Amino acid sequence: MKKILTIFILLKVMSSTAQSNTNLPQTLKLPEKWEFRQAHTEKWYPTEIPVSIHTALQKNGLIEDPFWRDNEAKYQWIEKEDWQFQTTFDVPQNVFEKKHIELIFKNLDTYAHVFLNDSLVLETDNMFRTWRTDVKHFLKPTGNKIHIYFESPIAKTTPDWTALGYELPGGQRVMTRKAQFHYGWDWGPRFVGCGILKTPELLGWDDFLLEDIYVVPQEVSQEIASMAIRIRYRSDIEGDVEFVNKFNKRKTIEQRKLEIGVREDSMSFQIPNPELWYCNGMGEPKLYDFTFEVIKNYKVIATKQLRVGIKKIELITEKDKDGESFYFKLNGRRVFMKGANYIPINIFQDKVTEKDYARLLDASRDANMNMLRVWGGGIYEDDIFYKMCDERGILVWQDFMYACAMYPGGGNFLKNCSREANEQIERLRGYTCMALFCGNNENNEAWNHWGWQMSFNEDQRNRLWKDYTTLYNDLLGNFVANDGAGIPYWESSPKYGRGNPKSLKEGDAHYWGVWHDAEPFSMYNKKVPRFMSEYGFQSFPDWRTIESFTEPADRELESKVMLAHQKHPRGNALIAEYMDRDYRKPNNFKDFVYVSQLLQAEGMRTGIEAHRRNKPYCMGTLYWQLNDVWPVASWAGIDNFGRWKALHYFAKESFKPVAALPIIEDDIIKVYGVNDKIPFIKAKLQVRLLDFDGTVISQEILPEIKLHPDSSRVIWQATVKTFLKNRKPQDVVLETVLTSIDNSEIYSRRLLYLLPPRDLKLPKPHVKISVNQVNDGYAISLETNKLAKNIYLTTAQDGFFSDNFFDMPPGEKRTVLFKTETILDNLAGAFQVRTLTDTF
Ligand code: BMA
């Protein structure tokens, strides 16, 4: 007993020394409670940070929910006003007595004048930068007042915008380094706000500050990985120190001499028998934990915990017989990229929680994605996003935040952009998930092919193009090359636009012939580029999501409120036109919403499969878009509540790493075997033609087929006629099932119809469900007497269906898990089932 007590006391003493190690820099988060008001008005209102002005107003009942009905239009006045925020705080001794005290802001949106105890200490003009300023001499131990005056981004930029003498494509938003989608997009509302989107901090330190640290693998062999830890520090002192790295109970120590000023240094350490970091579907995203310390006179003066994987990423752009390749190599192996374009989770960043990130990135991983493109009209994401991508094996294609516009040049603007880029490169290069920095979204393509040049004279054109190349080539490109830790750089996405035949032969492509030009989905089979970084089709969000912003009378396709939540001018017309090609007219708007999701999912599947079949000519497919910033009809596969549309369920199936993908080409049924995995795989293929009663008309089994690593080839084919055996195409469905040889694993299963749904003779099925409570929710077992097309399970409860929108032939049994924290009391009535035949 005595011994235990001694150990306990010892532990206590040790832990309290660690916490109160006053040699280390000390951080103080500023308080949550603030007050705010509209400038030039009297009354202050309470608020809690992080907050955007819209949230602050809403929480005080000064405005309604900005997403409700057509409220967006009512709240446009907010962008024209100035806003003030303030609070008071004390500075505890451990911070106050430090030699240096910096006030640090991240995500301060955007034009802020910061006053500390009535002195102006900082002025900011870029929401993507970290702002730090020395405030030691302005602080007192108690009763400090911080006041932030936000200028309207519109009023602030109007003089410079007008002085340009011409209108830059993209509009006035280009003048401000602020999330460009705040100004409205074809899937988002316009809310040009301001706000304190992260809690500001005070950072106190004495003689030494570790400003930056990251780890890069140097030499990697099977036996050993040599890693370099690179640091930048700021020091007021010289002298001997030790750099220490603790890894896996081993300590590496190196002696150093500190120098005064801002200095860079590095140390190395080794990982024996290293396991490399692999992306989702290729292997494990192995991460290693270690701790770096700087020790002076036996005292730790800086420490940092790091979590890093060992990976090498390369972008291979080589001339070949077709044009020029565009693919990624991870750890020396070619990888086919599967994923989507990511936009921010909410237009009001203050509302985004860690849980939201986890849910969306889990959904990406669960849908077999291995890459997300952080699109250039949004934000450089929060650290938590990249950390979660590291952990889930999701590679990140990171655009710099420039989209669909020409940006002003000039010293001040470019200086601001340079600082932003340097800070973001420095922050992001340490994340293992980082695969690419890309200069901008569509700016090159738009300038050269969207007719933008016509509104400028030659001088202006030359100047604008020079500003373009200065920013994306001379500045960003060089910054990434010099400081990007080996992460590749790509000037603009796409390399060529769809008007240019080269777009299918070189670089990455955005193919929008489907959608904008109303080309049929089957064009995806023809327009296969080297890497498809954008293509998409709209649908409506989940019905409950529609209910969240409407009154019952609003729930009509063309109601004023629904139109306020459809930002594409031809959106509804295009959906209706495509729907008419493939589906029978839905009975009502609710059915239209459901069918719009099927239409989108089927269309996108055509694209995904075309890209996968054509590997290695095509080496990536990122559809537009993963998610939504508010409730809206859009290209997203997951709506703003995190609810999966049919697309996300379909993508999960279509992205499976080993798959048999059927297609009919010139009356020949072809099945492609696609293997994205590293090992060579032997598999069994079963192809059956069934009628809608479940009778097998034809079938073929290939007991052993070989799927080479990272490959795609036709593994089986037959003419439609022989397989159809005099049956009519409207009465049958083709099923391909790819399993392991011993049937223990189903790699993929796919149903393919010979005609579009509107021409099928679908029977009315009777789908029986039975519900059982299980650990994390309810298991719903389904059976049907006839083919049930696109079974759609719904419930009024919050939760998640493990599967939905799937087809089920008779004879098959399926169990869907409904994950929920809610306890249901009426199991039988809790779930509803619909199928496609209920919509007409
Ligand atoms: C892409 C994107 C976005 C846009 C989407 C849908 O090209 O880069 O600008 O939202 O198209 O139109």
Average of pLDDT values for 237-257? Answer: 95
pLDDT at 17 over 70: no
Select the more confidently predicted residue: 332 or 5: 332
| CA 154/CA 133 separation, integer angstroms | 26
Nearest CA to ligand 1 atom 6: 186
> Is 186 near ligand 1, meaning CB less than 6 Å away?
yes
Kindly state the helix (H) or strand (E) to which residue 806 belongs, with its residue range.
Answer: strand 806-808
From 567, 575, 625, 626, give the residue whose CB has the most ligand 1 atoms within 8 Å, as the site to mutate.
625
Handedness of CA 131, 133, 139, 141 (dihedral sign): positive
pLDDT of residue 168: 97
Q: How confident is the model at residue 5 (pLDDT cuts 50, 70, 90)?
A: very low
> Is 515 near ligand 1, meaning CB less than 6 Å away?
no
Residue written as token pair 């150093």: 256
| Nearest atom within ligand 1 for CA of residue 442 | 8
> Is 782 near ligand 1, meaning CB less than 6 Å away?
no
What pLDDT, in 10s, does the model give residues 651-677? 999 999 999 999 999 999 999 999 999
User: Distance, CA 625 to ligand 1 centroid (Å)?
Assistant: 9
Kindly state the helix (H) or strand (E) to which residue 784 belongs, with its residue range.
Answer: strand 777-784
Look up residue 33 and give its amino acid. Answer: K
Nearest CA to ligand 1 atom 8: 441
User: Distance, CA 403 to ligand 1 centroid (Å)?
Assistant: 9
Q: How confident is the model at residue 498 (pLDDT cuts 50, 70, 90)?
A: confident
State what percent of residues in the chain have pLDDT above 70: 98
- Residues paired with 86 in a beta bridge: 35, 147
| CA 269/CA 254 separation, integer angstroms | 10
Nearest CA to ligand 1 atom 9: 404
Residue written as token pair 């040009």: 192
From 624, 625, 626, 635, give the residue whose CB has the most ligand 1 atoms within 8 Å, as the site to mutate.
624
Nearest to 184 by CA among 639, 564, 624, 623: 564
Residue written as token pair 């989702």: 280
What is the crossing angle of helices 354-366 and 383-392, to 10°?
A: 30
> Is 510 near ligand 1, meaning CB less than 6 Å away?
yes
Instruction: Report the 10 Å Cβ neighbour count for 773.
Output: 10
> Is 205 near ligand 1, meaning CB less than 6 Å away?
no
Average of pLDDT values for 709-722? Answer: 96
What pLDDT, in 10s, does the model give residues 814-840? 999 999 999 998 898 999 999 999 999
pLDDT at 18 over 90: no
Task: Give one word for 442, left, alpha or beta, with left for phi > 0 and alpha for psi -120 to 50.
Answer: left
3-state secondary structure of 802: coil
| Nearest atom within ligand 1 for CA of residue 375 | 8
- Residues paired with 609 in a beta bridge: none
Kindly give the residue spans of alpha helices, DSSP state H, lying in 393-524: 411-428, 443-449, 458-469, 478-483, 513-516
Contact 337, 622 (CB under 8 A): yes
3-state secondary structure of 621: strand
What pLDDT, in 10s, does the model give residues 448-493? 989 999 999 999 999 999 999 999 999 999 999 999 999 999 999 9
User: Distance, CA 624 to ligand 1 centroid (Å)?
Assistant: 7
Q: Tokens for 764?
A: 């009315």
User: Distance, CA 520 to ligand 1 centroid (Å)?
Assistant: 19
> Is 498 near ligand 1, meaning CB less than 6 Å away?
no
Contacts of 165 (CB under 8 A, 6+ apart): none
From 181, 401, 534, give the residue whose CB has the most ligand 1 atoms within 8 Å, as the site to mutate.
534
What pLDDT, in 10s, does the model give residues 639-653? 999 999 999 999 999
Nearest CA to ligand 1 atom 12: 186
| Nearest atom within ligand 1 for CA of residue 568 | 12
What pLDDT, in 10s, does the model give residues 106-144? 999 999 999 999 999 999 999 999 999 999 999 999 999
User: Distance, CA 810 to ligand 1 centroid (Å)?
Assistant: 41
User: Distance, CA 537 to ligand 1 centroid (Å)?
Assistant: 11
What pLDDT, in 10s, does the model give residues 606-638? 999 999 999 999 999 999 999 999 999 999 999
Q: How confident is the model at residue 405 (pLDDT cuts 50, 70, 90)?
A: very high
pLDDT at 12 over 50: no
| Nearest atom within ligand 1 for CA of residue 377 | 9
pLDDT of residue 659: 98
| CA 753/CA 691 separation, integer angstroms | 11
> Is 185 near ligand 1, meaning CB less than 6 Å away?
yes
Q: Tokens for 736?
A: 């391909």
pLDDT of residue 249: 87
Predicted TM-score of the model (pTM) = 0.96
pLDDT at 215 over 70: yes
pLDDT at 327 over 60: yes
| CA 538/CA 576 separation, integer angstroms | 11
Average pLDDT over all residues of the chain: 96
pLDDT at 16 over 70: no
Nearest CA to ligand 1 atom 4: 186
User: Distance, CA 645 to ligand 1 centroid (Å)?
Assistant: 19
Torsion angle defined by CA atoms of residues 408, 411, 413 and 415, in that order, rounded to the nearest 10 degrees: 140
Distances (CA, A) of 728 to 27, 215, 443, 731: 73, 62, 50, 6
User: Distance, CA 187 to ligand 1 centroid (Å)?
Assistant: 9
Using H for helix, E for strand and C for coil, what is the string for 401-434?
A: CCECCCCCCCHHHHHHHHHHHHHHHHHHCCCCCE
- Largest alpha-carbon pair distance within the chain? 90
| CA 471/CA 466 separation, integer angstroms | 9
Nearest to 834 by CA among 796, 809, 805, 797: 805
**DSSP 8-state class, residue 326:** -
> Is 442 near ligand 1, meaning CB less than 6 Å away?
yes
pLDDT of residue 678: 87
User: Distance, CA 535 to ligand 1 centroid (Å)?
Assistant: 9
User: Distance, CA 719 to ligand 1 centroid (Å)?
Assistant: 40
What pLDDT, in 10s, does the model give residues 531-557? 999 999 999 999 999 999 999 999 999
Residue written as token pair 């290729």: 282
Q: Tokens for 23?
A: 């040699």
